[in-house]
């Protein structure tokens, strides 16, 4: 505990001894440090009995590792370190898995139940949605724009409507699970209603088909895991009591992203007089895809917590950047033209760190703020930002820089332009999960070779994979490339791998004095490879695990390898006729990122901006959460990506082919909720949910802007563009910020 | 035969009068089985013929020491002793007295012979019956693989038989103990319906699965004077070992049989009972004690040291602080823990430690590496690493199914090639893979090259080696090419003739080609064992379903191959023990090691954080405790019961292992298990506690 010098606000948190505590923490306020220090303090001061643990729940796998490392750091001076740490850090999915795994049969699962990854779940859901539409091609006709002629309608039914129904399936099934509904209970309820709810009927049918498809595979999805964990806790008091006994303190990070179910699970675990500390920043509640999370849960908790706290100090940004962010809060709260959006952002303001703090704010530099008013076309915006980056990079090779966009597609466009200019970029945050791609890619190359072991070309690729650690050393890597090239030219691979009477290929190289510096490496490679070749006797999952144990050491890689192994095993079970070549093909698809493949958390990359000094990191604003750079560009801040509830604004979820600009997804979810509503005044009224969803979107976009701004340490540049048709405006909050900054 | 001189207590048991009925109890390693073996030999020496002696064990492998004793050159000749399990006894009696009870037992065709089902053929019929019901919505609220579902319904029938309650009460018992969501309880009714359906189907067709064999024996044959007289007159002396692993109906049988015996020795291992998931009921079988004339208890331990026993006390104390009094600890426990973050690091550590032990003179056969579950990846990784250091290993692999054995896959591929009429042309990859197994020394690169040239996937036809160009022949090498040529010739000749039964085909292929010098199965005993198991599996499949398939005009061989692909058959464990090198590091799941019952110097416990060390397999359709004799109807099975059961099985397991270890236990902890999850199981907790309490005492 000696290396951590808490600020007064942090000290107040560290003095916690029990009860409920809600902490509102501004960006960069050191909440992970504080929470880790609190866990370490509770452990080292003997607040735990034997067999008890502190349960820490956080959002991502990388945060899990981060927490564990920090707590270990605090505890390293302890006299006796047990084999078993007195804490458990889990994502919500990890925690749910622990609970369900404890008593699977309690919730109708077999011991060896499988967890479907998002990619597979999406594929099944999409198929279910498409099948529903095939069977009921005209069921949604009433919702189509009456202006559409029959030919156009027909096309809509076959194309965009399919996509719309798929996205409804996702949100409907997720919400139904969040409401703890099974397809059967939902069906029963719908049958009791006096009036039919056609959209809810559609959702119920898809939900039922989807769950049947999962059961057939002996699998659950991530949402089931959470739902079933709660079900298990509710159905067995003994289980709940045992877990309460085991986890006398619960510390929750990123609580603004908590869903109702997460809150219920933790509330149950904490018990009526439980010890539960929740830290989060409601201002940073932003979501990339449909979620049932809502920052209001956390605000509500804070209002009734025994000990409400704030962590308002942040040493991250300059005074000017903090001023811009704080002004956005004030403007939203007091001046946003739409009343419903005024609770999007909340106090506290971000305050600088006090004097003497180990993390002082960078010296103020108002000249580092540029809120650009120019009406760029989309193309011109890219060029202008690229020009600016190019100029800046020349003089700041030791600093960090990022360009953040609301959507992937803009990021890719900027990436192309920068690369065209020979500027080094880091785009891994734009892609779904680069570590997955990397792991799957490395394994894929080896499996690809094992499926076709006579191929010298594939052998050469395996050699590069095997030597990948030398990539950082350019001289060494040149040598590796040269060796791989010669290996790729080996006509008879068997003479290298299993030399017979025909002679040893390596001896030939030796005699010809080729690659003499690399011969030892090749000898070793041959040994490794002959070991790998033996793995083809193993079932596919165990083969992948075995190879991964030779290839990787990081838990992330191992966890991903395991998921790949399980997935391939399932594919093999579903297609018993498939062998290594076909299975490798499946892996290759994942490696090329053509399909999404996610691990337990949606963000398992553990990205560190400081490792990319002098290179341009390109990311969506969502993916940049939790990260910071010296200079940040926020792009496309117009009324398309940041609408403000104005009459002329467009909303992505409202489709052009749906009548009255209805948001079909929101309308469907409202019908689902109405089906279970007991209040006649809450009965479904068409159009209302669309408006509600619009307001929710406006609020989320305000927070997104806030998150974007608070990524910057010293310099912030915000630009916008007029869109493809040239009719877009600067986002209203941006205009407000510009005015504020000018006046300042 | 015996390493230690016999103790006076052992000698007393061995030399007890020929009319003694003794209950012998003691912990593992106390010399009970040794006494049993010597008692058996002393019966011979007293002139009792072997056919009058019945040796009853819960699992055939547990009779291994007795077989060894009987085969020893010093053993007196007494003819062959009958060695049986209760299931084996039931089957034998049903076979013998079938005409007497077939009608009474409700079989539709009492005059036709019985058809005994194995676990896999029973599963085959169950699958045929249940599949259509699934489409009707049965078991809809369950998330389970189909083959696991079929096996759990069968398991319920078997539990009813071994516990001794009517199979019609399965759902009643399971439902009454259900503590979860009430809506979920209907799956037990579905399971009951399927069990009833299966039983009716069996009675209609003279099919006898394990449960029916046992029920008929106990309900119809044992009560019948003709059968009972036959048994009690034939078997005058009985030795029962590992009674604690046996099922309740064994107790029922013995209770009535003991008074009729001349002599009996009933051996019971205290604090064991590892086969609960198979219906073992140590509590019930312990009551045999009351039906014996005398009880003898052995206290000594031949298989463990004082220091090791102190580990046992320390763990028992930390597991049951409320029950076990704190014991005096030595200055340090002979436990060697090592914590790694990653799984591969733990494996490296294990290999280093084993190498050091061997270097210091410990024979490899005195080292075992135990884990809760021995995956192939683990077995493979360890065996390869140790092999690289010249340390031999052996393993039992009950975690891999017969169909996943490379030798099985090779045999099935060759079968498909030899029967083109089935229309199941293997892929090129399958063939290359089969050739590596079939031809010794053939590597994957050359196998693939060969396959590319000699095999046409479309018509499943092979061409001979001598028809390929000389340059390629040279690449493949003539030596390997000639072996291929031999295999080709054999298959070609077989295809020309009339097709035989699939099991005959495998026997011939194995005997005439694959087991010959130069072929892959010649030196690979494992593969030979697998072939024997496969042949056995096909033969039993033919006996059980051959007739009905023939009536439907379906080719048995083809159906077998398809059922293997579906995982319905050959998905079970390998049954027979494999021949193992004597002095090799033994890699096994902990329970396998326990049932092998052979103490060693050093044990390695891997992945001690895993829950597999104590947790029962969770099955939503069956329940070993609820279906046991001791569970009261309507008492719900709660989390507290689950926890107690886990604690109890960990207690038994840990003590069982420690009592089979003389010098030290190495504890490998990998924070992230093989699957990448963090492990914090109960075993780790109690070890941590025991180590902590010792260090606190220092």
pLDDT average, residue stretch B532-548: 88
Q: Judge: A83–B618 Cβ closer than 8 Å, yes or no.
A: no
**Residue B577 banded pLDDT, cuts 50, 70, 90:** very low
Q: Are A324 and A705 in contact (CB under 8 A)?
A: no
Q: Judge: B380–A538 Cβ closer than 8 Å, yes or no.
A: yes
Residues of A (105-144) whose Cβ lies below 8 Å from B = 105-113
pLDDT greater than 60 at residue B574: no
Question: A405 — alpha (psi -120 to 50), left (phi > 0) or beta?
Answer: beta
Q: What pLDDT is recorded for position A548? A: 86
- Alpha-carbon distance of B182 to B175, in angstroms, equals 9
pLDDT greater than 60 at residue A144: yes
**Residue B324 banded pLDDT, cuts 50, 70, 90:** low
Q: Does A504 touch chain B (CB under 8 A)?
A: no
Q: Judge: A97–B677 Cβ closer than 8 Å, yes or no.
A: yes
Which of A80 and B447 is assigned the larger pLDDT? B447
- Alpha-carbon distance of B73 to B40, in angstroms, equals 15
Q: What pLDDT is recorded for position B309? A: 82
Q: Give the residue from A81, A452, A545, A584 with the most B CB atoms within 10 Å of its CB, the best one to mutate.
A: A545
Look at chain A and report how many structural domains it folds into: 4
The answer to whether residues A151 and A128 belong to one domain is yes
pLDDT greater than 60 at residue A558: yes
Residues A388-415 pLDDT 10s: 999 999 899 899 999 999 998 999 999 9
Q: Which of A125-129, A434-438, A695-699, A703-707 has the lowest mean pLDDT?
A: A434-438
The answer to whether residues A93 and A238 belong to one domain is yes
Of B143, B347, B433, the CB nearest to A218: B143
pLDDT greater than 60 at residue B397: no
pLDDT greater than 80 at residue A595: no
Residues B121-148 pLDDT 10s: 899 999 989 989 988 889 988 888 888 8
Query: Searching chain B, which residue's CA lies closest to the CA of residue A100?
Result: B618
Q: What is the dihedral of CA A727, A732, A735, A739, to 10 degrees?
A: 150
Domain end call among A591, A619, A642: A591
Mean pLDDT, chain A, integer:
89
Q: What pLDDT is recorded for position A588? A: 66
pLDDT greater than 50 at residue A601: no
Strand B585-589: give its sheet, edge to edge.
Answer: B335-340, B661-670, B600-605, B367-371, B585-589, B393-395
Q: Does B290 touch chain A (CB under 8 A)?
A: no
Q: Judge: B429–A579 Cβ closer than 8 Å, yes or no.
A: yes
pLDDT greater than 90 at residue A371: yes
**Residue B424 banded pLDDT, cuts 50, 70, 90:** confident
Q: What pLDDT is recorded for position A172? A: 97
Other beta carbons within 10 Å of B96: 12
pLDDT average, residue stretch A619-623: 92
Q: Judge: A549–B381 Cβ closer than 8 Å, yes or no.
A: yes
Q: Judge: A219–B143 Cβ closer than 8 Å, yes or no.
A: yes
Reading the block at residue B245, the tokens are 């692993």
Residues of B (637-656) whose Cβ lies below 8 Å from A = 638-640, 642-643
pLDDT greater than 80 at residue A416: yes
Domain end call among A567, A591, A615: A591
Query: Searching chain A, which residue's CA lies closest to the CA of residue B408?
Result: A537
Residues constituting chain B: 698
Which of A248 and A4 is assigned the larger pLDDT? A248
pLDDT greater than 60 at residue A680: yes
Residues constituting chain A: 744
pLDDT greater than 60 at residue B330: no
Which of B289 and A116 is assigned the larger pLDDT? B289
pLDDT greater than 90 at residue B398: no
- Alpha-carbon distance of A129 to A670, in angstroms, equals 19
pLDDT greater than 60 at residue B42: yes
Q: How far off is chain B from A658, nearest CA to CA, in Å?
A: 36
Q: What pLDDT is recorded for position A394? A: 87
pLDDT average, residue stretch A478-484: 90
The answer to whether residues A184 and A83 belong to one domain is no
Assigned domain for A318 exists: no
Assigned domain for A61 exists: yes
pLDDT average, residue stretch B89-111: 96
pLDDT average, residue stretch B623-641: 94
The answer to whether residues A206 and A255 belong to one domain is no
**Residue A437 banded pLDDT, cuts 50, 70, 90:** low
Mean pLDDT, chain B, integer:
89
The answer to whether residues A233 and A382 belong to one domain is no
**Residue B498 banded pLDDT, cuts 50, 70, 90:** confident
What percentage of chain B carries pLDDT values higher than 70? 94
Assigned domain for A184 exists: yes
Q: Give the predicted TM-score (pTM) of the model.
A: 0.83
SS3 for A261?
A: helix
Strand B82-84: give its sheet, edge to edge.
Answer: B82-84, B53-56, B237-240, B263-269, B21-26, B294-298
Residues B186-211 pLDDT 10s: 999 999 999 999 999 999 999 999 99
The answer to whether residues A528 and A581 belong to one domain is yes
Residues of A (432-461) whose Cβ lies below 8 Å from B = 450-454
- Alpha-carbon distance of B479 to B484, in angstroms, equals 9
Q: Judge: B140–A111 Cβ closer than 8 Å, yes or no.
A: no
Q: Give the residue from A100, A106, A501, A583 with the most B CB atoms within 10 Å of its CB, the best one to mutate.
A: A106
pLDDT greater than 80 at residue A264: yes
pLDDT greater than 70 at residue A431: no
pLDDT greater than 50 at residue B292: yes
- Token pair 């209040």 in the structure block, residue: A679
Q: Judge: B376–A538 Cβ closer than 8 Å, yes or no.
A: yes
The answer to whether residues A194 and A245 belong to one domain is no
The answer to whether residues A140 and A168 belong to one domain is yes
Q: Judge: B474–A103 Cβ closer than 8 Å, yes or no.
A: no
Q: Does B689 touch chain A (CB under 8 A)?
A: yes
Strand partners, B14: none
Strand partners, B208: B116
Q: Judge: B617–A539 Cβ closer than 8 Å, yes or no.
A: no
The answer to whether residues A438 and A397 belong to one domain is no
Any idea what the CATH number is for the domain that residue A629 is in? 3.40.50.300
Give start and end residues of each alpha helix (H) in A504-639.
505-511, 519-534, 540-551, 555-574, 580-591
C-alpha dist (Å) from residue A517 to A423, A461, A473, A487, A588: 34, 19, 16, 14, 33
Residue A230: phi and psi, rounded to 5, are: -65, -40
Give start and end residues of each alpha helix (H) in B497-605.
502-508, 520-523, 525-552, 556-566, 590-596
Residues of B (84-123) whose Cβ lies below 8 Å from A = none
Assigned domain for A691 exists: no
Q: Does A502 touch chain B (CB under 8 A)?
A: yes
What percentage of chain B carries pLDDT values higher than 90? 60
Which of B400 and B684 is assigned the larger pLDDT? B684
The answer to whether residues A535 and A447 belong to one domain is yes
Q: Does B181 touch chain A (CB under 8 A)?
A: yes
Assigned domain for A243 exists: yes
Residues of B (349-378) whose Cβ lies below 8 Å from A = 375-377
Residue A151: DSSP 8-state: H
Question: B537 — alpha (psi -120 to 50), left (phi > 0) or beta?
Answer: alpha
Assigned domain for A333 exists: no
Q: How far off is chain A from B11, nearest CA to CA, in Å?
A: 46
Q: Find the angle CA(B492)-CA(B494)-CA(B495) to the nearest 5 degrees.
A: 65
pLDDT greater than 90 at residue B263: yes
Residues B581-604 pLDDT 10s: 678 999 999 988 988 888 999 999
Residue B22's closest CA among B4, B39, B45? Answer: B39
Q: Are B488 and B462 in contact (CB under 8 A)?
A: yes
Residue A638: DSSP 8-state: B
Q: Which of A343-352, A613-622, B312-321 has the lowest mean pLDDT?
A: B312-321
- Alpha-carbon distance of B92 to B511, in angstroms, equals 30
pLDDT greater than 80 at residue B106: yes
The answer to whether residues A585 and A639 belong to one domain is no
Q: What is the largest CA-CA distance in chain B?
A: 81
B492-499, long-range: CB < 8 A, 24+ apart: B492/B462, B494/B418, B495/B418, B495/B419, B495/B420, B499/B419, B499/B421, B499/B557
Strand partners, B455: B462
**Residue B675 banded pLDDT, cuts 50, 70, 90:** low
pLDDT average, residue stretch A260-286: 93
Q: Judge: A580–B429 Cβ closer than 8 Å, yes or no.
A: yes
Which residues 6+ apart lie within 8 Å of A411 measured at CB? A403, A405, A427, A430, A618, A619, A620
C-alpha dist (Å) from residue A614 to A389, A394, A610: 10, 9, 10
- Token pair 């010597």 in the structure block, residue: B38
B342 contacts on A by Cβ (under 8 Å): 553-555, 558
Q: What pLDDT is recorded for position A602? A: 37
Reading the block at residue A165, the tokens are 């129904």
Q: Give the residue from B444, B687, B698 with the most A CB atoms within 10 Å of its CB, the best one to mutate.
A: B444
Domain end call among A173, A195, A216: A216
C-alpha dist (Å) from residue A536 to A234, A546, B397, B609: 46, 10, 18, 30
pLDDT greater than 80 at residue A301: yes
Query: Searching chain A, which residue's CA lies closest to the CA of residue B380?
Result: A546
Q: Give the residue from A217, A219, A451, A537 with the most B CB atoms within 10 Å of its CB, the best one to mutate.
A: A537
Reading the block at residue A404, the tokens are 């953040």
The answer to whether residues A379 and A415 belong to one domain is yes
Q: What pLDDT is recorded for position B524? A: 80
pLDDT average, residue stretch B417-421: 93
Q: Are B521 and B514 in contact (CB under 8 A)?
A: yes
- Alpha-carbon distance of B480 to B500, in angstroms, equals 29
Question: B184 — alpha (psi -120 to 50), left (phi > 0) or beta?
Answer: alpha
Q: Which domain holds residue A734?
A: 366-431+607-650+708-743
pLDDT average, residue stretch A685-701: 93
Residues of A (479-498) whose Cβ lies below 8 Å from B = 492-494, 497-498
Q: Judge: A83–B449 Cβ closer than 8 Å, yes or no.
A: no
Assigned domain for A224 exists: no
A542 contacts on B by Cβ (under 8 Å): 375-377, 380
Assigned domain for A688 exists: no
Q: How far off is chain A from B498, nearest CA to CA, in Å?
A: 28
Q: Judge: B143–A581 Cβ closer than 8 Å, yes or no.
A: no
Q: What pLDDT is recorded for position B403? A: 80
Q: What pLDDT is recorded for position A435? A: 59
């Amino acid at each position: 505990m000696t290396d951590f010098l808490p600020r007064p606000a942090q000290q107040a948190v560290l003095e916690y001894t029990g009860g409920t505590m809600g902490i509102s923490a501004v960006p960069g306020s050191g909440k992970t440090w504080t929470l880790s220090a609190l866990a370490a303090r509770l452990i080292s001061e003997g607040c735990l009995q034997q067999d008890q643990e502190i349960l820490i729940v956080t959002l991502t796998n990388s945060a899990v590792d981060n927490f564990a490392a920090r707590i270990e750091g605090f505890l390293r001076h302890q006299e006796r370190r047990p084999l078993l740490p007195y804490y458990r850090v889990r994502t919500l999915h990890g925690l749910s898995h622990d609970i369900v795994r404890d008593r699977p049969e309690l919730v109708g699962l077999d011991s060896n139940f499988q967890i479907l990854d998002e990619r597979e779940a999406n594929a099944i859901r999409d198929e279910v949605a498409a099948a529903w539409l095939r069977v009921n091609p005209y069921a949604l006709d009433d919702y189509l724009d009456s202006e559409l002629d029959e030919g156009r309608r027909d096309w809509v039914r076959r194309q965009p409507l399919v996509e719309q129904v798929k996205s409804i399936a996702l949100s409907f099934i997720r919400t139904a699970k969040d409401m703890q509904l099974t397809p059967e209970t939902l069906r029963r309820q719908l049958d009791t209603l006096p009036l039919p709810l056609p959209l809810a009927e559609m959702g119920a049918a898809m939900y039922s088909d989807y769950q049947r498809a999962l059961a057939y595979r002996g699998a659950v999805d991530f949402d089931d895991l959470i739902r079933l964990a709660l079900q298990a806790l509710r159905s067995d008091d003994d289980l709940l009591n045992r877990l309460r006994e085991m986890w006398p303190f619960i510390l929750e990070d990123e609580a603004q992203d908590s869903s109702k179910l997460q809150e219920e699970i933790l509330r149950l675990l904490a018990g009526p007089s439980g010890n539960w500390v929740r830290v989060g920043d409601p201002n940073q509640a932003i979501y990339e895809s449909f979620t049932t999370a809502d920052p209001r849960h956390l605000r509500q908790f804070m209002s009734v917590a025994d000990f409400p706290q704030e962590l308002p100090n942040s040493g991250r940004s300059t005074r000017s950047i903090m001023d811009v962010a704080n002004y956005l809060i004030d403007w939203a709260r007091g001046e946003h033209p739409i009343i419903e959006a005024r609770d999007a952002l909340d106090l506290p303001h971000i305050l600088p760190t006090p004097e003497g703090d180990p993390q002082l704010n960078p010296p103020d530099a108002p000249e580092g703020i540029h809120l650009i008013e120019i009406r760029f076309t989309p193309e011109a915006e890219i060029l202008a930002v690229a020009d600016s980056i190019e100029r800046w990079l020349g003089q700041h090779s030791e600093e960090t820089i990022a360009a953040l966009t609301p959507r992937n597609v803009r990021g890719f466009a900027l990436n192309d332009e920068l690369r065209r200019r020979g500027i080094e970029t880091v785009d891994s945050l734009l892609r779904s999960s680069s570590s997955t791609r990397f792991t799957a890619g490395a394994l894929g190359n080896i499996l690809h070779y094992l499926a076709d072991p006579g191929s010298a070309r594939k052998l050469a690729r395996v050699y590069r994979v095997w030597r990948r650690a030398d990539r950082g050393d350019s001289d060494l890597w040149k040598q590796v490339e040269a060796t791989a090239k010669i290996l790729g030219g080996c006509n008879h691979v068997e003479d290298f791998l299993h030399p017979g009477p025909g002679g040893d290929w390596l001896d030939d190289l030796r005699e010809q004095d080729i690659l003499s510096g690399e011969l030892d490496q090749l000898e070793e490679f041959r040994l490794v490879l002959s070991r790998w070749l033996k793995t083809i006797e193993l079932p596919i999952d165990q083969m992948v695990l075995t190879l991964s144990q030779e290839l990787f050491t990081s838990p992330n890689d191992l966890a991903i390898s395991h998921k790949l192994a399980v997935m391939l095993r399932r594919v093999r079970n579903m297609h018993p006729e498939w062998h290594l070549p076909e299975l490798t093909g499946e892996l290759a698809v994942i490696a090329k990122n053509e399909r999404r493949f996610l691990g337990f958390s949606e963000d398992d990359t553990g990205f560190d901006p400081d490792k990319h000094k002098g290179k341009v990191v390109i990311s969506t604003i969502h993916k940049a959460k939790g990260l910071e750079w010296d200079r940040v560009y926020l792009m496309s801040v117009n009324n398309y990506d940041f609408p403000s509830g104005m009459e002329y604004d467009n909303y992505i979820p409202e489709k052009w082919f749906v009548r009255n600009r209805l948001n079909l997804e929101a309308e469907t979810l409202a019908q689902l909720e109405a089906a279970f509503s007991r209040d006649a005044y809450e009965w479904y009224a068409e159009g209302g949910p669309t408006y509600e969803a619009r307001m929710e979107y406006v609020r989320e976009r305000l927070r997104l802007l806030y998150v974007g701004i608070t990524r910057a340490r010293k310099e912030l540049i915000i630009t916008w563009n007029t869109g493809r048709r040239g009719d877009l405006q600067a986002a209203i909050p941006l205009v407000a910020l510009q005015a504020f900054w000018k006046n300042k | 035969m015996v390493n230690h001189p016999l103790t006076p207590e052992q000698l007393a048991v061995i030399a007890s009068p020929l009319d003694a009925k003794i209950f012998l109890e003691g912990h593992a390693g106390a010399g009970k089985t040794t006494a049993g073996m010597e008692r058996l030999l002393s019966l011979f020496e007293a002139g009792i013929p072997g056919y009058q002696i019945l040796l009853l064990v819960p699992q055939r492998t547990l009779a291994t020491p007795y077989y060894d004793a009987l085969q020893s050159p010093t053993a007196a000749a007494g003819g062959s002793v009958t060695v049986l399990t209760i299931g084996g006894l039931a089957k034998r009696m049903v076979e013998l007295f079938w005409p007497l009870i077939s009608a009474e037992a409700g079989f539709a065709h009492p005059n036709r012979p019985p058809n005994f089902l194995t676990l896999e053929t029973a599963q085959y019929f169950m699958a045929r019956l249940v599949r259509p019901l699934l489409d009707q919505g049965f078991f809809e609220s369950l998330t389970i693989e189909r083959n696991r579902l079929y096996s759990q319904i069968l398991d319920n029938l078997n539990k009813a038989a071994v516990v001794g309650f009517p199979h019609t009460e399965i759902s009643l018992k399971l439902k009454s103990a259900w503590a979860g969501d009430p809506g979920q309880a209907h799956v037990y009714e579905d399971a009951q319906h399927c069990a009833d359906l299966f039983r009716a189907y069996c009675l209609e067709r003279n099919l006898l699965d394990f449960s029916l064999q046992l029920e008929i024996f106990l309900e119809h044959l044992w009560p019948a004077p003709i059968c009972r007289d036959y048994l009690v007159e034939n078997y005058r002396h009985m030795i029962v070992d590992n009674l604690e692993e046996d099922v309740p109906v064994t107790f029922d049988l013995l209770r009535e049989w003991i008074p009729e015996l001349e002599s009996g020795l009933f051996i019971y291992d205290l604090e064991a009972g590892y086969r609960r998931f198979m219906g073992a009921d140590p509590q019930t079988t312990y009551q045999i004690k009351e039906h014996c004339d005398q009880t003898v208890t052995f206290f000594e331990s031949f298989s463990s040291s004082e220091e090791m026993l102190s580990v046992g006390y320390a763990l028992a104390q930390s597991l049951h602080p409320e029950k076990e009094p704190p014991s005096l600890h030595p200055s340090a426990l002979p436990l060697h823990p090592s914590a790694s973050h990653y799984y591969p690091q733990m494996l490296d550590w294990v290999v280093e430690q084993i190498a050091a032990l061997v270097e210091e003179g410990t024979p490899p056969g005195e080292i075992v590496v135990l884990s809760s579950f021995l995956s192939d990846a683990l077995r493979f990784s360890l065996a390869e690493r140790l092999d690289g250091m010249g340390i031999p290993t052996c393993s039992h692999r009950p975690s891999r199914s017969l169909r996943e054995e490379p030798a099985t896959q090779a045999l099935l591929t060759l079968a498909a090639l030899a029967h083109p009429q089935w229309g199941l042309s293997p892929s090129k990859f399958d063939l290359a893979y089969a050739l590596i197994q079939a031809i010794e020394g053939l590597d994957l690169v050359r196998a693939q090259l060969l396959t590319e040239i000699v095999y046409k996937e479309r018509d499943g036809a092979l061409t001979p080696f001598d028809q390929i160009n000389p340059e390629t022949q040279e690449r493949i090498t003539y030596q390997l090419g000639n072996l291929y040529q031999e295999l080709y010739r054999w298959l070609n000749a077989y295809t020309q003739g009339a097709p035989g039964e699939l099991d005959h085909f495998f026997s011939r292929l194995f005997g005439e080609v694959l087991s010959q010098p130069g072929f892959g199965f010649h030196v690979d005993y494992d593969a030979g064992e697998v072939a024997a198991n496969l042949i056995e599996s096909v033969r039993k499949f033919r006996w059980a379903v051959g007739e009905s398939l023939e009536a439907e005009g379906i080719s048995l061989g083809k159906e077998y191959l398809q059922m293997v692909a579906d995982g319905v058959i050959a998905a079970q464990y390998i049954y027979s023990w494999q021949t193992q090198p004597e002095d090799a590091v033994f890699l096994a799941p902990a329970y396998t090691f326990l049932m092998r019952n052979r103490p060693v110097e050093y044990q390695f416990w891997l992945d001690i954080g895993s829950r597999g060390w104590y947790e029962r397999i969770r099955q939503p359709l069956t329940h070993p405790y609820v279906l046991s004799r001791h569970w009261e109807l309507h008492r719900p099975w709660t989390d507290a019961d689950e926890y107690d059961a886990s604690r109890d099985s960990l207690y038994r397991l840990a003590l069982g292992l420690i009592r089979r270890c003389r010098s030290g236990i190495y504890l490998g902890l990998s924070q992230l298990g093989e699957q990448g999850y963090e492990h914090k199981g109960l075993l780790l907790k109690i070890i941590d506690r025991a180590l902590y309490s010792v260090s606190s005492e220092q």
